[in-house]
Amino acid sequence: MHYLDNILFAILLLLGVGYFTLNCKKILRNIRLGKEVNRSDRKGDRWKNMAMIALGQSKMVKRPVAGILHIIVYVGFVVINIEVLEIIIDGLFGTHRVFSFLGPVYNVLIGSFEILAFLVLVAVIIFYIRRNIINLKRFVHSDLKGWPKSDGNIILYFEVVLMTLFLTMNAADFHLQNVSGGFMHFHTAGSFPISQYIAVLFEGVPNATVYVIERAAWWLHIAGILVFLNYLYFSKHLHILLAFPNTYFADLNPKGQFENLEAVTNEVKLMMDPNADPYAAAPADAVPTKFGASDVQDLNWVQLLNAYTCTECGRCTSACPANQTGKKLSPRKIMMDTRDRMEEVGKNIDANKGVFIPDNKTLLNDYITAEELWACTTCNACVEECPVNISPLSIIMEMRQYLVMEQSAAPMPLNAMMTNIENNGAPWQYSQQDRLNWKDEN
Ligand code: SF4
Ligand code: SF4
């Protein structure tokens, strides 16, 4: 019977981790749908970015209330899960609190886990109030209608349930440790600054019942963690894992520096240099088969990683001048749409034995409209604000590039300006010969 528990636990663990691994493979496959981009340079800066922004949460605290609450939940979640290691060993080998041989260190660890669990509960309640009662503008935005709003709340419920189970398990354990004369294998181990107060509820309850409560909380706690792990794939909470690679592979160029298209740069050089040979043959691979991006496969893999990492926090949208002035653009929606389309393409590939069958849809038009794209002022506020170094602007720019260069579909004033630059070498509609007329005035 004893071994049956261990076998059941091993099966549960295998199923949980196995399904998660399958979904990780899908995420990786979808990210690889993107074009190649080299982000292997400046490794020192990249590690620093990851340490400061993903691990150190340095951009989160720009908004102190949300930032500090987030750090509590983040640290709490990561640190408390160290205990998961103990649970896994106990579950697999039938031990009980296997790390208790650490003595006073173990007491400090369990004590700090409990305090963190309590703080996480408080932070989660405040988060819930901010999202659902105070209704902060960025959380009641139209981007979040439907599933994204439910997703934000579901994860809060998850946290409450997991932390409550953790404290209940400890409270029952504490009670059984203190049964006079001892109870089964429950020897004294750990300190319980929070759950000792919950344990008062067990006074007068038969020990066998408290034991059942302890076991139930223990099993539900680990099962809940495995469900949570697998829920990540369907949720914006993938950022818990992807914030690390995302900050590492982020663009390190100064904000505002755009990637020039080599083929276009060469054309312009020819135009500007009177001595250049206009008939000189360009290398065959100098001209791309498609300019800009109309679908997710045209974006690079870091942009697709960005889409999976987006936390849907809306800091970008709340700082976006286009959005603030009532335009249709929301940089958060750009990232959410990119992820949704990437998922759609991924499902298409899964359904068609590894091959994408065109579905008459594209990211452009079916998800993101030209109106949204042209509302962007390219100010970079969204990039600056993003707590995990995402660049919605880079996607906007590539889609605009497609509109201009593949479809000649720029707005009228822009087309007129570009025609003037092409014909007159200046954005205004007058001949180059008239350029110095101003000096003859007066
Ligand atoms: S760069 Fe564009 S999308 Fe980003 S904040 Fe500025 S206007 Fe908004
Ligand atoms: S792009 Fe960044 S700032 Fe915008 S919603 Fe996503 S995580 Fe938040």
Q: Is 392 in the pocket of ligand 2 (CB under 6 A)?
A: yes
Atom 3 (ligand 2) nearest CA? 386
Pocket test for ligand 2, best of 251, 313, 336 (most atoms within 8 A of CB): 313
Atom 6 (ligand 1) nearest CA? 379
Pocket test for ligand 2, best of 70, 236, 316 (most atoms within 8 A of CB): 316
Atom of ligand 2 nearest to the CA of 336: 6
pLDDT of residue 10: 92
> 289-424 maps to which CATH number?
1.10.1060
Cα distance between residue 86 and residue 106, in whole Å: 11
pLDDT of residue 143: 86
Q: Is 310 in the pocket of ligand 2 (CB under 6 A)?
A: yes
Q: Annotate 126-181 with three-state secondary structure.
A: HHHHHHHCCCCHHHCCHHHCCHHHHHHHHHHHHHHHHHHHHHHHHHHHHHHHCCCC
Atom 4 (ligand 1) nearest CA? 382
Q: Is 138 in the pocket of ligand 2 (CB under 6 A)?
A: no
Cα distance between residue 336 and residue 342, in whole Å: 10
What parts of the chain have a pLDDT lower than 70?
1-2, 278-286, 442
What is the secondary structure of 235-270 as a DSSP string?
Answer: SGGGHHHHHHHHHHTS--SPTTPPPPPHHHHHHHHH
Question: What are the pocket residues of ligand 1 if the criterion is a CB atom closer than 6 Å to any ligand atom?
Answer: 319-322, 329, 331, 376-382, 392-393, 396
Q: Of the ligands numbered here, which is closest to the C-alpha atom of 246?
A: 2
Atom of ligand 1 nearest to the CA of 385: 5
CB 172 within 8 A of CB 202: yes
pLDDT of residue 64: 84
pTM score, two decimals? 0.86
Atom 2 (ligand 1) nearest CA? 376
pLDDT of residue 282: 60
- The predicted-structure confidence for 214-235, as pLDDT tens digits, reads as follows 999 999 999 999 999 999 999 9
- Tell me the domain boundaries of the chain: 2-248, 289-424
228 alpha carbon to ligand 2 midpoint, in Å?
A: 22
Pocket test for ligand 1, best of 376, 384, 397 (most atoms within 8 A of CB): 376
3-state secondary structure of 353: coil
pLDDT of residue 193: 92
pLDDT of residue 140: 81
Q: Is 16 in the pocket of ligand 2 (CB under 6 A)?
A: no
What is the secondary structure of 367-415 as a DSSP string?
Answer: TB-HHHHHT-----HHHHH-TT---HHHHHHHHHHHHHHHH----HHHH
pLDDT of residue 272: 78
Name the residue among 124, 122, 131 with its Cα closest to residue 159: 124
375 alpha carbon to ligand 1 midpoint, in Å?
A: 8
- The predicted-structure confidence for 306-326, as pLDDT tens digits, reads as follows 999 999 999 999 999 999 999
Cα distance between residue 9 and residue 219, in whole Å: 9
CB 304 within 8 A of CB 34: yes
pLDDT of residue 278: 65
